[in-house]
Amino acid sequence: MPIRSRLSGVHPILYAYFGPDARLDRAALERQVDVCLAAGCHGIALLGLVTEVFRLSTEERLDLVGWAAERIGGRVPLMATVAEVSVHGQLDFIAEAARRGADWVVLQPPPVKGVSEREILRFLGEVADRSPLPVGVQNNPLNMEVSVSSDALLALHRNHPNIRFMKAEGPAVSVAAFALEASKTCDVFAGHGGIEWPTNLRSGCQGLIPAPELVDAQVAIWRLWSAGETERAEALHRAILPIIAFMSRSLPLLIAYGKRLMALRMGWPEVHPRIPEPAVTPFGMEELARFAALLGPLATEPGRPLSPALRRMAPSTHPPWR
């Protein structure tokens, strides 16, 4: 499919699953793609923090891009986050990711402490200008050691037109002014699992890049909101909010428990960690089982992707799930 000039909607960022030998599990990645597409996602993302990019080699990251692109088959755009720490390393990665099927790349401030904001912007701008793919920038002051100001992000977008979207993470009240201004010429995505998803939409965001375990509910909220049924969207968001809060207390907890909730919902038999990984507790797994029963299974084929349990959370005689 041709690359869209504007992006919106829900673009889940997939987990990395491993086999008993601690190597990447391609079949588990493909199952995630299948259930996200069946849920009606608007794109798929890879290689962010929830993909455990810090545990993956460069070749493993590129393998995930190729496997996902092959499974997607051009049905939705695929975006890949770039983790290399040099301009040349990032450009080499982008070129190979493009060859393997990525449609967009996401840049982050390089994780080098003590560098001025001006130098970070120069780094990102040079990569963006030379990238063969359109670029997004993720700024996450809550979970990343290096970040930049909202004013710097706006200047970066103005000075480098290949930067086409921003992932603005943080409390909605802190990023609302940025989102409203940036959204005039750039697509702005929220994150943090959609913990403030309706508020993000009111503040100017066009989309959400969440972990995938609630993809069906997140897509339903987007569709309801887009159809003008904001009260039903808010009701569904309130219903899933305790689950989002459970997952969002920290990144290690999200990886440990979010990945296992996704496995339960997509019918994946077992989760094998790549050590070191925070241990899950019996109580935590009991909570996950309760959440999975409440949410119902994720569909693997398009049709009626929202489970009956979730549909009851935002009832209507004419639900616009499609």
Q: Is residue 321 over pLDDT 50?
A: no
* C-alpha pair distances (Å), 37 with each of 71, 72, 145, 217: 10, 8, 33, 13
Which residue is listed with tokens 């409440």?
Answer: 294
pLDDT of residue 1: 33
pLDDT of residue 66: 98
For 136, phi then psi, to 5°, come to: -115, 160
Domain boundaries, the chain: 9-313
Reduce the DSSP state of residue 2 to 3 states and report it.
coil
Could you write out the DSSP letters of every residue in 218-287? HHHHHHHHHTT-HHHHHHHHHHHHHHHHHHTS-HHHIIIIIHHHHHHHTT----B--SS-PPP-HHHHHH
194 neighbors 159 (Cβ within 8 angstroms): no
Span 58-93, pLDDT tens digits: 999 999 999 999 999 999 999 999 989 899 999 999
Q: Supply 221's token pair.
A: 């909220």
Q: What is the DSSP letter of 304?
A: -
Span 223-272, pLDDT tens digits: 999 999 999 999 999 999 999 999 888 888 889 999 999 999 999 999 99
Of residues 97 and 277, more confidently modeled: 97
Could you write out the DSSP letters of every residue in 89-153? HHHHHHHHHHHHT-SEEEE---S-TT--HHHHHHHHHHHHHH-SS-EEEEE-TTT-S----HHHH
pLDDT of residue 304: 62
Biggest alpha carbon distance in the chain? 57
Reduce the DSSP state of residue 211 to 3 states and report it.
coil
pLDDT of residue 226: 93
pLDDT of residue 305: 57
Q: What is the DSSP letter of 196?
A: T
Span 168-206, pLDDT tens digits: 777 777 777 878 887 788 888 988 889 999 998 988 888
Q: How open is the CA angle 213-230-305, to the nearest 5 degrees?
A: 35
If you classify domain 9-313 with CATH, what class do you get?
alpha beta
Of residues 322 and 56, more confidently modeled: 56
pLDDT of residue 143: 61
Q: What is the DSSP letter of 7?
A: -
- Fill in the amino acid letter for 165: F
